[in-house]
């Protein structure tokens, strides 16, 4: 059965969209008018390196059994889809052009799969023992999430690393680290059957008889996507410094002892909330993957491009750590550096 999926965000969202279209499903990406026109005219192109190959393959949506199209926020009708995926940066959901669409999605009652680094507030409401009001000031627009039913919201750890080559058109995405999307299950069995069907469909896809990386993996545990938090605080946010941006590899490997301490502490906070060690990724595996991450994180690139708001998973982890009696000076330092850089962008706009 082919499903219809609406994905908010045409950059990182095009990776999930391409994987779904390779499996025969129909996808519409929500984006700005110029990008939507480009995609509807030329399709998308996602570049992925297959195991054992030296060069990336260019996977073009126009060649796939499914479909990838694009719409603007005003054109999107959430009730016409089986699933909505959230693939933009958290501050974008409160933008004037997007906020009405978010209200329509909440009213539609469609299940939502977030592939944001920032966990949507409705997903966190599925985890008992969290003071959700305490976390709201980590969000740029917390009221956007008020209408969403928690059981209809899932979180998918966006482990694959990808970026738009700045010298190329907006319909092209380059995958630097082709790892998997790891999704927590929904509350409803019917929605989970749909999600697991997509998982199976994506897993069955091959190119010239070869396996295609970047799978969708579905887990019963709500805590599997939280494994990304350790990676974000150890690498992504530490790309932001009082000086210049640095690559994820440098952030992790310039002081491995400190990186291990941060990673382990964030993992321990997640376990305090209910995560099982089996839900988490060993530091050694992450450190090995980070050796190939030669660019600053998307959060760092946004900050150094002048952004005054970014996703603040660092603040969420800081607040949760304090709430469970596990404050940590290194996390406080990360938050303070990011706060200072964002404040500098407010007072000294680019």
Tens digit of each residue's pLDDT, the chain (350 residues): 899 999 999 999 999 999 999 999 999 999 999 999 999 999 999 999 999 999 999 999 999 999 999 999 999 999 999 999 999 999 999 999 999 999 999 999 999 999 999 999 999 999 988 888 999 999 999 999 999 999 999 999 888 889 899 899 999 999 988 999 999 999 999 999 999 999 999 999 999 999 999 999 999 999 999 999 999 999 999 999 999 999 999 999 999 999 999 999 999 999 999 999 998 999 999 999 999 999 999 999 999 999 999 999 999 999 999 999 999 999 999 999 999 999 999 998 76
| pLDDT for 177 | 86
DSSP element (H, E) containing 255:
none
Domains annotated on the chain, with CATH? 4-219 (3.40.50.720), 224-347 (1.10.1040)
In this prediction, residue 130 carries a pLDDT of 87
**Cα–Cα distance measured from residue 90 to residue 129, given in angstroms and rounded to the nearest whole number:** 23
pLDDT score for 350: 62
Q: Write down the pLDDT at residue 348.
A: 84
Q: Give the chain's radius of gyration (CA, Å).
A: 19
Give per-residue burial for 236-247: e unless 16+ CB within 10 Å, then b: bbbbbbeeebbb
Residue 63: how many other CB atoms lie within 10 Å:
11
Residue 158 is predicted with a pLDDT of: 83
| Most distant pair of Cα atoms in the chain: their distance | 55
Least Cα distance to 127 among 320, 300, 295, 299 occurs for 320
How far is 117 from 87, CA to CA, in rounded Å?
A: 9
153-158/112-114 β-pairing: parallel
CA distance 196 to 218: 7
Which single residue is written with the structure tokens 């993996």?
Answer: 217
Strands 161-163 and 45-48 turn out to be: unpaired
Q: Between β-strands 45-48 and 57-60, what pairing exists: parallel, antiparallel or unpaired?
A: antiparallel
Helix (H, G, I), strand (E, B) or coil at 46: strand
């Amino acid at each position: 059965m082919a499903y219809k999926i609406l994905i908010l965000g045409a950059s990182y969202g095009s990776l999930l969209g391409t994987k779904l279209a390779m499996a025969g499903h129909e996808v519409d990406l929500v984006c700005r008018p110029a990008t939507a026109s480009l995609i509807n005219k030329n399709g998308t192109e996602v570049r992925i390196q297959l195991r054992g190959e030296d060069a990336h393959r260019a996977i073009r949506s126009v060649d796939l059994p499914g479909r990838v199209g694009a719409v603007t926020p005003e054109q999107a009708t959430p009730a016409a889809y089986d699933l909505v995926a959230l693939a933009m940066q958290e501050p974008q959901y409160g933008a004037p052009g997007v906020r009405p669409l978010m209200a329509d999605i909440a009213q539609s009652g469609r299940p939502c799969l977030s592939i944001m680094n920032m966990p949507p507030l409705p997903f966190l409401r599925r985890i008992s023992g969290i003071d959700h009001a305490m976390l709201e000031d980590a969000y740029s627009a917390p009221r956007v999430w008020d209408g969403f039913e928690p059981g209809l919201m899932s979180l998918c750890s966006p482990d694959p690393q990808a970026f738009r080559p700045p010298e190329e058109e907006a319909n092209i995405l380059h995958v630097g680290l082709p790892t998997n999307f790891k999704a927590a299950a929904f509350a409803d069995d019917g929605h989970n059957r749909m999600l697991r069907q997509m998982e199976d469909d994506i897993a069955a896809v091959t190119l010239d008889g070869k396996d295609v990386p970047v799978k969708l993996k579905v887990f019963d545990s709500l805590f599997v996507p939280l494994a990304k938090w350790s990676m974000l605080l150890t690498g992504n946010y530490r790309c932001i410094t009082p000086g210049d941006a640095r690559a994820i590899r440098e952030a992790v490997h310039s002081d491995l002892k400190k990186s291990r301490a941060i990673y382990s502490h964030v993992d321990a906070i997640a376990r305090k909330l209910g995560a099982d060690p089996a839900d988490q990724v060993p530091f050694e595996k992450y450190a090995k993957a980070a050796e190939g991450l030669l660019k600053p994180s998307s959060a760092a690139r946004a900050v150094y491009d002048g952004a005054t708001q970014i996703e603040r998973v660092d603040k969420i982890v800081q607040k949760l750590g304090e709430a469970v009696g596990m404050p940590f000076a290194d996390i406080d330092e990360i938050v303070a550096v990011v706060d200072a850089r964002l404040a500098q962008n407010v007072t000294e706009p680019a």
